[in-house]
Structure 1
Amino acid sequence: MDASVSGHIYAELGYDFLAITDHNNAHSPDQWEKWQTETDLLIVPGEENGSRGHILELGIQSVTQTESDLYSERAKRLYQAGGFIVGCHPQEYPECGEEDIRSAVEHLHGFEIFNGLRESRGCDEPANVELWDQILTAGGQIWGVATDDFHCAYITPGHGWVMVQIPEDSPTPISWQTVVNQLKKGAFYSSTYPSFETIDLQNENSSDQHLCVTAKRARSLRVIGDGGTVLHTTRGNQLEWSVTTDLTYFRIEAVSGIKRSWSQPFYKQN
């Protein structure tokens, strides 16, 4: 499906931007601008790298050439090229997918904890989130990403997305460079339905911190820590929690039935 068609679909769903990531193909700047004009969406350039062990790179205008087929080496080369680098659907290759992600943590900004195309074929999300918690517990630092992986008219859109926080002083119109920079920083959350309104971490004194979260369309909110342990949960759209100091990380989930939103992890400060 041409991006001029899929772009209109996503615009009608209320999306603000769309990343086009064809396999091993980065379209010309003229093509990006044409799609952007046709769809009235911000288009983020990118590509999905590799014939096996796919890796997204966003914010690039040509395919980054890699000399090695080794996943970790490819991730390193893509990272050095300056894009936002995301490991794709690790459960697609169960014999090596999770190990690929582990091997490249220092050169991946994130990996897909939810992939709409894969979820239509099975249920990868729990395994991906478990992998995420394992990496975070071991001290790795990596963002969790939700995507649609929308391919054609025979697949329904709007299953997984990211909500990016844009600085108030950003020049308008917002550029794809601003979006990519915020993604790299982890200034986003991933979702399949609920939304976070605020995530506020306050310093009560020199050693204690207090977390306040508000959400929409959530039946419950919960804090997840080391080992994927649920540290605190509350019903509804508001959560307050005094941060436990002996954690490697914590993150927040908004829950509505089988639907989720995932904050990015907060890491223990040295």
Structure 2
Amino acid sequence: MDAAVSGQIYANLGYDFMAITDHNLVHDSNQWRSWQEQVGLVIIPGEENGSTDHILEIGVSAVTPTSSESYVARAKTLRDAGGFIIGCHPQEYPDRGEKNVSDAAEILHGFELFNGLREGRGFDEMANVDLWDEILTQGHKVWGVATDDFHCAHITPGHGWVCVQMPEDVPEKVPWKTIVQQLKKGAFFASTYSSFEEIILEDGILKVTTKQSREIQIIADGGQIVFQVEGTNLEWRVESNLTYFRIEALSGVKRAWSQPFFSTIHT
């Protein structure tokens, strides 16, 4: 499916941007401009790197050559090239996927907590959330990402997505480079349904407002639930002895994940 067609599908669903990540291919600037003129959202260039053990690099104008077969070395090469670097669908590689992400935790910006295509194929995507908590408990700063991995006929759109916070001075027509910069900072949440309307941390008090959630949980060291409330509003005094905490909004089996807060930020 041409990106002009898939882009309009996502625009009609209310998306503001999408990334095109063909395998080991970044389309030339003329093609990007053509797509951008045809669709009602921002298109971000990128690629899915590697013949296996895939790594996304988002926000690049050319494929970054990676000579090493080492996952960690490839991740470092890709990050040094300047893109937003995401470890892909670790559950697809049961003998090494989680180890890949753990070993590269100091290098990757993030990894896929949820991949819609893989969930449709029966993979245990929630195992990625357990892996995330293990990595965060070790003190690594790694962002959680949700994607569709839209492959035309193989999946319907709208299963996994991210919502990015924009700077106050951003122009009305948001440049894709600004979106990538915010992704690198972790200024976004990932979701399969619910959304965070507001997250405020001030004087040690966390206030959260969500949309379409039945429950809000605070998850901390070791993946433990340290606080939870029913509904769409939460207020909680942050516990200073935690390595990290993150917020999870639940609606049945659907989830929204904030990015983690670390002790150096909230104490």
Match of 1:12 in 2: 12
Q: So what's the TM-score if we normalise by structure 1?
A: 0.97
Q: Which runs of 4+ in 1 moved over 4 A?
A: none
2:187 and 2:155 mapped to 1: Cα distance? 29
Match of 1:58 in 2: 58
How much does 1:106 deviate?
1.3
- On the 8 A contact 1:117/1:150 being kept in 2, the answer is yes
Match of 1:119 in 2: 119
Match of 2:213 in 1: 218
Q: Kindly indicate whether residue 184 of structure 2 is the aligned counterpart of residue 184 of structure 1.
A: yes
1:182 and 1:97 mapped to 2: Cα distance? 26
What letter matches 1:94 in structure 2?
P
For the residue of structure 2 that corresponds to 1:153, the secondary structure is: helix
Stretches of structure 2 lacking an aligned partner (at least 5 in a row):
none
- On the 8 A contact 1:79/1:107 being kept in 2, the answer is yes
- CA deviations 1:149-184 (Å, max 9, x no partner) are 001134211000000000110123100000000000
How much does 1:40 deviate?
1.7
1:2 and 1:153 mapped to 2: Cα distance? 12
For the residue of structure 2 that corresponds to 1:68, the secondary structure is: coil
2:44 and 2:234 mapped to 1: Cα distance? 34
Root-mean-square deviation over aligned CA pairs: 0.9
Stretch deviating more after TM superposition (116-125 or 92-101): 116-125
- CA deviations 1:159-215 (Å, max 9, x no partner) are 000000001101231000000000000000000000100000011xxxxx1100000
- On the 8 A contact 1:90/1:97 being kept in 2, the answer is yes
Match of 1:233 in 2: 228
Match of 1:206 in 2: none
Any residues of structure 2 matched to 1:23-34 within 5 Å, and which? 23-34=23-34
For the residue of structure 1 that corresponds to 2:235, the secondary structure is: strand
1:153 and 1:41 mapped to 2: Cα distance? 22
How much does 1:124 deviate?
2.3
For the residue of structure 1 that corresponds to 2:131, the secondary structure is: helix
Any residues of structure 2 matched to 1:85-234 within 5 Å, and which? 85-203=85-203, 209-234=204-229
Aligned residues: 265
For the residue of structure 1 that corresponds to 2:197, the secondary structure is: strand
For the residue of structure 1 that corresponds to 2:5, the secondary structure is: helix
How much does 1:123 deviate?
4.0
Stretches of structure 1 lacking an aligned partner (at least 5 in a row):
204-208
What letter matches 1:101 in structure 2?
V
What letter matches 1:260 in structure 2?
R
- CA deviations 1:66-100 (Å, max 9, x no partner) are 11010000000000000000000000001000000
- On the 8 A contact 1:56/1:85 being kept in 2, the answer is yes
For the residue of structure 2 that corresponds to 1:255, the secondary structure is: strand
Q: So what's the TM-score if we normalise by structure 2?
A: 0.98
